[in-house]
Amino acid sequence: MLSRLLVTGASGGVATQLRPLLTQVAEQVRLSDIREITDLAEHEEFIAAELSDQAQVDAIVEGCDGVLHLGGISLEDTWEKILVSNVIGMHCLYTSAQKFGQPRIIFASSNHAMGAYKFTDMLDASALPRPDGYYGVSKAFGEQVASMYHDKFGQQTLVVRIGSCLPKPKDPRMLSTWLSPRDFISLIDRSFNVEHLGYTIVYGASANTRRFWDDKLAVDLGWEPKDDSEQFAAEFADLTPYEDAIDQGLLTYQGGVWLKAPLI
Ligand SMILES: NC(=O)c1ccc[n+]([C@@H]2O[C@H](COP(=O)([O-])OP(=O)(O)OC[C@H]3O[C@@H](n4cnc5c(N)ncnc54)[C@H](O)[C@@H]3O)[C@@H](O)[C@H]2O)c1
């Protein structure tokens, strides 16, 4: 059990789903974001911080023995915005972690770091990044920051290339990429409790029948996702509502339509 877990990006969609479950991994939870949270539970506190401001990031990291780094731009956006939140923000976080005892970090990377691979490609952690936009490039950069801090300083990180973390899949592609909140919590639990985490990469997807990712290189982590999106497959048996998206490559590239979309 962690004493105090820092969650960045705590006002966002993923953190909002995970918050009620985080009591399983930490006694106290420090929530941080640029958007304020007011509905705090007893074990939670909120400290606002801009991820690209080193002093503000120092203030949130100090006193935490684990970090769940969800903060940043979470969709394709302008390079300028991605640079500030995802590139400079990543540098600030790892700089702070060195100052304050190297808490283990779970870095929310993305399937979009690998989005240009096809559905027919079965990837493991040794696959080279193939981003499908600047957002994916920033996640690939973040993974390399974590790798360098591990090799140079021994900072331990779990990189989780999240597929689609939602209560349930919203389109046919998500039958492959869905990550249930329950499986994400068990992954977080393993990451903070496994004896040696080192620098580990996993694909953040549940035990979906249609998964196109293989976590065999992360077997030491001992993570066993339980949920399978197949329980929702009947909802997408009729593909008529998705025909446009399918024409645009929704069922071709692992990152969906992003590869063929223009840069912003
Ligand atoms: N939702 C998914 O299925 C999914 C899939 C792949 C990767 N991810 C990654 O997981 C993380 C969480 O995703 P989400 O869906 O909750 O995203 P979200 O956009 O809902 O939340 C991200 C939060 O980060 C905050 N933020 C952005 N820039 C900031 C900055 N400069 N300083 C401080 N806070 C800042 C935002 O205010 C926001 O509340 C993101 O890093 C995202 O890239 C999510």
pLDDT digits (tens, 9 = 90+) for 108-124: 999 999 999 998 999 99
pLDDT value at residue 39? 97
pLDDT digits (tens, 9 = 90+) for 126-142: 999 999 999 999 999 99
How much distance in Å is there from the Cα of 149 to the middle of ligand 1?
22
pLDDT value at residue 244? 85
pLDDT digits (tens, 9 = 90+) for 213-262: 999 999 999 999 999 999 999 999 998 888 888 887 778 999 998 998 99
* Residue 56 tokens, joined: 């503000």
Give 158's strand partners.
106, 200
- Which one, of 123, 16, 138, lies nearest residue 75 by Cα? 138
* Residue 110 tokens, joined: 């993305």
Q: Would you mind telling me the total number of residues written for the chain in this entry?
A: 264
Q: Could you tell which of 35, 57, 70 is best to mutate to test the pocket of ligand 1, judged by most ligand atoms within 8 Å of the CB?
A: 70
What is d(CA 56, CA 50) in angstroms, rounded to the nearest whole number?
6
Which CATH number is 70's domain given? 3.40.50.720
Percent of all residues in the chain with a pLDDT value above 70, rounded to a whole number? 100
Spatial neighbors of 244 by CB under 8 A, at least 6 apart, are none
User: Average pLDDT, stretch 4-14?
Assistant: 98
pLDDT digits (tens, 9 = 90+) for 137-182: 999 999 999 999 999 999 999 999 999 999 999 999 999 999 999 9
Q: With a 6 A CB cut-off, is 71 part of the ligand 1 pocket? A: yes
pLDDT value at residue 75? 97
Q: With a 6 A CB cut-off, is 208 part of the ligand 1 pocket? A: no
- Chain centroid offset of residue 161 CA: 6
What is d(CA 62, CA 73) in angstroms, rounded to the nearest whole number?
23
The answer to whether residues 256 and 115 touch, using CB atoms and an 8 Å cutoff, is yes
pLDDT value at residue 182? 97
pLDDT value at residue 108? 99
Concatenated DSSP letters of 34-84: SS------TTEEE----TT-HHHHHHHHTT-SEEEE--S--S---HHHHII
* Residue 89 tokens, joined: 């923000």
How much distance in Å is there from the Cα of 10 to the middle of ligand 1?
8
pLDDT digits (tens, 9 = 90+) for 22-58: 999 999 999 999 999 999 999 999 999 999 999 999 9
Domain that holds residue 99: 2-260
Q: With a 6 A CB cut-off, is 90 part of the ligand 1 pocket? A: no
How much distance in Å is there from the Cα of 237 to the middle of ligand 1?
31
Residue 33 CA, closest ligand 1 atom number: 34
Q: With a 6 A CB cut-off, is 11 part of the ligand 1 pocket? A: yes
Number of domains in the chain: 1
User: Average pLDDT, stretch 85-92?
Assistant: 98
Using only C-alpha atoms, what is the Rg of the chain?
A: 18
* pTM more than 0.85: yes
What is d(CA 190, CA 183) in angstroms, rounded to the nearest whole number?
11
The answer to whether residues 66 and 103 touch, using CB atoms and an 8 Å cutoff, is yes
The answer on pLDDT for 4 being more than 80 is yes
How much distance in Å is there from the Cα of 52 to the middle of ligand 1?
14
Minimal-distance CA residue to ligand 1 atom 7 = 110
The answer to whether residues 156 and 197 touch, using CB atoms and an 8 Å cutoff, is yes
